[in-house]
Amino acid sequence: MRKQNKNVAAIESRFTVIRTLIGVGISLVIALVLIAAVSDNPIEALMGFLVGPVTSINRMGNVVEKMIPLMFTGTAVCIVFACGQISLCIEGVFYICSIACAAVATQAGIAYGLHPILCFLAAGALGAVICAIPALMYVKFDTMTVVSSLMINFICLYIGKYLMHYVLRDPSAGFDGSYKYLDTARLPKMFPKTSIHMGLIVAILVVVVAYYALYKSPWGYSVRMTGLNAKFAKYQGMNVPGMILTASMAGGFIAGMGGAVEQLGMYRRFSYGGLSGHGWNGIMIAVIAMNNPKLVPLASLFVAYISTGADVVNRTCDVPIEIINIVQSVIIMFVAAERFLENWKKRKIVEASQQEEMMKRAQMEGAEKSE
Query: Comparing 140 with 176, which gets the higher pLDDT?
Result: 140
User: Phi and psi of 178, rounded to 5°?
Assistant: -75, 175
d(CA 154, CA 148): 10
Whole-angstrom CA distances from 357 to 1, 3, 334 are 10, 11, 34
Least confident range of 37-41, 116-120, 186-190, 279-283: 37-41
d(CA 100, CA 124): 9
Contact 93, 130 (CB under 8 A): yes
Dihedral angle of Cα 296, 206, 137, 285, to the nearest 10 degrees: -10
Task: State yes or no: pLDDT of 103 exceeds 70.
Answer: yes
DSSP state of 40: S
Which CATH number does the domain housing residue 210 bear? 1.10.3470
d(CA 253, CA 66): 20
What angle in degrees, to the nearest 10, is found between the helix axes of 145-166 and 90-105? 30
DSSP state of 197: B
Task: State yes or no: pLDDT of 199 exceeds 50.
Answer: yes
Task: State yes or no: pLDDT of 250 exceeds 70.
Answer: yes
Query: Comparing 185 with 335, which gets the higher pLDDT?
Result: 185
Q: What average pLDDT does range 355-359 have in this prediction?
A: 70
Task: State yes or no: pLDDT of 347 exceeds 80.
Answer: no
Kindly state whether residue 90 falls inside one of the protein's structural domains: yes
Would you give the distance in Å from CA 334 to the centre of its chain? 17
Q: What average pLDDT does range 111-126 have in this prediction?
A: 95
d(CA 290, CA 298): 12
> What pLDDT, on the 0 to 100 scale, is given for residue 284?
87
> What pLDDT, on the 0 to 100 scale, is given for residue 366?
62
Kindly state whether residue 188 falls inside one of the protein's structural domains: yes
Contact 308, 52 (CB under 8 A): yes
Kindly state whether residue 87 falls inside one of the protein's structural domains: yes
> What pLDDT, on the 0 to 100 scale, is given for residue 182?
94
Least confident range of 49-63, 88-102, 113-127: 49-63
Query: Comparing 7 with 171, which gets the higher pLDDT?
Result: 171
Residue pLDDT, tens place only, 290-315: 899 999 999 999 889 988 888 888 88
- In this prediction the pTM is 0.87
d(CA 217, CA 100): 31
d(CA 225, CA 228): 5
Kindly state whether residue 26 falls inside one of the protein's structural domains: no
Structural domains of the chain, count: 1
d(CA 19, CA 14): 9
Kindly state whether residue 14 falls inside one of the protein's structural domains: no
> What pLDDT, on the 0 to 100 scale, is given for residue 371?
59
d(CA 217, CA 62): 35
Would you give the distance in Å from CA 126 to the centre of its chain? 19
pLDDT-based confidence at 362, cuts 50/70/90? low
Secondary element (H or E) of residue 310: helix 296-316
Q: What is the largest CA-CA distance in the chain?
A: 95
> What pLDDT, on the 0 to 100 scale, is given for residue 342?
63
Task: State yes or no: pLDDT of 338 exceeds 60.
Answer: no
> What pLDDT, on the 0 to 100 scale, is given for residue 1?
47
Q: Euclidean distance between the first and final Cα of the chain, in Å?
A: 25
d(CA 128, CA 130): 6
- Of residues 93, 121, 127, the one with CA closest to residue 276: 93
Contact 101, 123 (CB under 8 A): yes
Residue pLDDT, tens place only, 14-68: 777 777 777 777 777 887 787 777 777 777 887 888 888 998 899 999 999 999 9
What is the extent of the structural domain holding 280?
Answer: 40-318
User: Phi and psi of 318, rounded to 5°?
Assistant: -110, 35
Whole-angstrom CA distances from 345 to 1, 20, 100 are 19, 14, 47
Kindly state whether residue 358 falls inside one of the protein's structural domains: no
Kindly state whether residue 270 falls inside one of the protein's structural domains: yes
Kindly state whether residue 338 falls inside one of the protein's structural domains: no
Contact partners, residue 217, CB within 8 Å, separation at least 6: none
